[in-house]
Copies of this chain bind each other. A is one copy, B any other.
């Protein structure tokens, strides 16, 4: 690795997270090449421009994306949506990611800048309308177009594209802003007939101080062939159970984008809704997306704890999710977790003000709430509320042990059905306030 990792060095406290969560090797899907460099947009000389190319020339390639629902959609979001709509049924050849400038709230000129960048890459890969864009960083500033176009030319001219581990790791670094570690995962999976395929994913997360943004970017690429009409719902479903089930502070940005390419470089039958392996692939992609999304929470600003909020046995999935999200976003719950306070009242209170779609999902007399240890210590489950009744003889020593764990679970059993939603959140620490409050002062 030649590239400076200065962007990570400032987060001295998080060096352990880097060691713990960043892989040291990996296998990657066939038919992709990646490249990244420091274009000069980031003043500290860190990586800030990356491209992933789909170089598989089979016609089996497809692409899909899930974009922010924020009304103020950044230029790259508007642009990429249009590309995917215009190419329905066909894959795309390149994703360009730049960090340091989000090209958000930049109006018509910002959209023109986006078109120029994509146009340049389309030309270089020899295919029109085949490039998606992702940007993250400062909002309300225009792209430094000269630096970015020069950077793109260098990537192609100097043949910086590679397929090796360092290449992928550097790409995952180039999309970071205030992340304290890059988020890169890669795994092999098998279909029923033994055919192996690979999923690789990367994301950038909850670093929002640079200076105006909270952006979640991620992409997943695979060499499996998946029919386009299937890939979009498959990705949407996976995102619904992963990136839409994480919370650092409940804010949703103008640039949030998760996209997926399935280039079909593996020689096997295209997966569609009638494939015997359809459900299997769907589950594998969903589980993979969950892993990636969880890394974003682990790097939550100031986070000292990784908390799984598991709401099970609900009459409706939607309501399980609304309850899980409400608990996960409660400042009172998050503060209590930081303070290692077994404050079941705040959890119950958050459940009670969740805006349910079906009121029957919640029956006050059927609810059970527990803390669950995620290490090997026992008893694993500490019951706080049983059938709506608070437990007054809670083992405070055990409560304190569980709450000291860096990973723990809040388990809510609604007892009204069989649907389940897991949500991942972090605690609210002094450090969060420092990071987000003291930026200019």
Contact = CB atoms under 8 A, between A and B. Distances in A.
Given A332-B214, A364-B71, A350 B251 contact: yes
Nearest to A333: B251
B351 A436 contact: no
A140 B344 contact: yes
A139 interface: yes
Q: How large is the interface on A (under 10, 10 to 19, 20 to 34, 35 or more residues)?
A: 35 or more
B428 A251 contact: no
Contact of A331 (B104, B251, B339, B364): B251
Interface stretch (A154-162, A287-295, A307-315, A386-394): A386-394
Given A344-B140, A345-B140, A348-B72, A338 B251 contact: no
A438 interface: yes
Contacts of A257: none
Central interface residue in A139, A208, A345, A428, by most chain B CB within 10 Å: A345
A439 interface: yes
Nearest to A399: B440
A254 interface: yes
Interface in A333-362: 335-336, 338-346, 348-354, 362
A332 B105 CA distance: 18
B249 A332 contact: yes
Nearest to A390: B140
Contacts of A249: 330-332
B433 A430 contact: yes
A336 B429 CA distance: 15
A99 to B, nearest CB: 16
List the 6 shortest-distance A-B pairs measured between CB atoms, nearest first.
A212-B345, A339-B437, A335-B436, A72-B352, A140-B390, A70-B352
Interface of A: 69-72, 104-105, 107, 139-140, 208, 211-214, 249-254, 329-332, 335-336, 338-346, 348-354, 362, 364, 385, 388-390, 392, 427-430, 432-434, 436-441
